[in-house]
Homo-oligomer: A and B are copies of this chain.
């Protein structure tokens, strides 16, 4: 059986390993990974593997037996190329076609997450499997590293759709990493007139302005919630938490403006404590956002083809497959990156662009 290289994560450590190349089952396609983004959730699951899996088991989205030292092949924001079809496939797209997909495989009716479910190959591998029915061809004018950003863009689009933001609402996007920028793109494309970007870093605020923010604020020196309330006046305020720090959940519920909508995009797995009275007397509308619909993923890919996304400004680094473990070490500490793209078909250490 042919072998391939794959990044394996277990017990907080990552390494490069030679593993058997997977064979596509019925309805599946073997693809070659061309580019894959490193997501904040990859960093989080690396740092807190057992905590995350124990919680997933409690919620019922993984089996309890999956929590015992799970071994994960990461990578779920990808561009790929069709290599071979499994049985029971239509084979509409020729071998060699560039494709992306929502990161799910279907196995006997169960959704398995590509890049997160143990034993399912992720896109930090030379090859992995996708579901034929979920494939989307990548438009010719969208480079591999751009198409890999359809996934985080879909997360932002879904968060904006979850909040049903109207054009005259005032949006505050807290945190200008990839998800915050994705929210800003979606808000701008939906015609929202006032988009406040909040981040303690001036360089990230500069990118937020390029992406369509109309105002910026540094929350370590200014009160971003007060700014939002002032700009909103009698209009609805919608606040997007895109920082991914659990302590911000009670902080935002305590500080959000009267009658505002607060959307949490982060997948927080720590317990938080707060006093419900703050949310009650302000009549908050709190919406939790998770993943996206397939149509939103397709819309995000189309927005890249339409030139609506300055994806180049988001892509701050590239790394070959053998450089991934060291790149994680860099990204798990404070750093200047927005999105680092893994190119699993080559070797090489992390380069800042």
- Give the B-binding residues of A (Cβ under 8 A): 55-56, 59, 61, 162, 246, 249, 264, 266-290
Contact = CB atoms under 8 A, between A and B. Distances in A.
Given A280-B289, A281-B290, 9 more contacts: A56-B281, A59-B281, A246-B276, A266-B276, A267-B277, A268-B275, A272-B274, A282-B290, A286-B287
A283 B290 contact: yes
Contact of A264 (B56, B249, B280, B288): B280
Contacts of A286: 285-288
A287 to B, nearest CB: 5
A277 B269 contact: yes
Contacts of A278: 59
Number of copies: 2
Contacts of A270: 275-276
Which of A271, A281, A288 has the largest number of chain B CB atoms within 10 A? A288
Contact of A273 (B61, B269, B272, B284): B272
Contact of A288 (B267, B269, B280): B280
B276 A283 contact: no
A59 to B, nearest CB: 6
A277 B268 contact: yes
A121 to B, nearest CB: 23
Contact of A281 (B61, B249, B283, B284): B61
A55 B284 CA distance: 17
A277 B162 contact: no
A288 B268 CA distance: 21
Contact of A59 (B267, B268, B274, B277): B277
Contact of A280 (B279, B285, B290): B290
26 contacts: A59-B277, A264-B276, A266-B276, A267-B277, A267-B281, A268-B276, A268-B277, A268-B280, A269-B275, A269-B276, A269-B277, A270-B275, A270-B276, A271-B275, A272-B275, A280-B288, A281-B290, A282-B288, A282-B290, A283-B287, A283-B288, A283-B289, A283-B290, A284-B287, A284-B288, A285-B286
A285 B284 CA distance: 11
A264 to B, nearest CB: 7
A5 B270 CA distance: 53
Contacts of A275: 55, 268-272
Contact of A279 (B162, B246, B285, B288): B288
A287 B288 CA distance: 11
A117 to B, nearest CB: 14
Contacts of A61: 281
Nearest to A265: B280
Nearest to A249: B276
Nearest to A282: B288
Counting from the closest, the 9 A-B pairs by CB-CB distance are A268-B276, A286-B286, A273-B273, A279-B288, A280-B288, A269-B277, A283-B290, A271-B275, A280-B290
A159 to B, nearest CB: 10
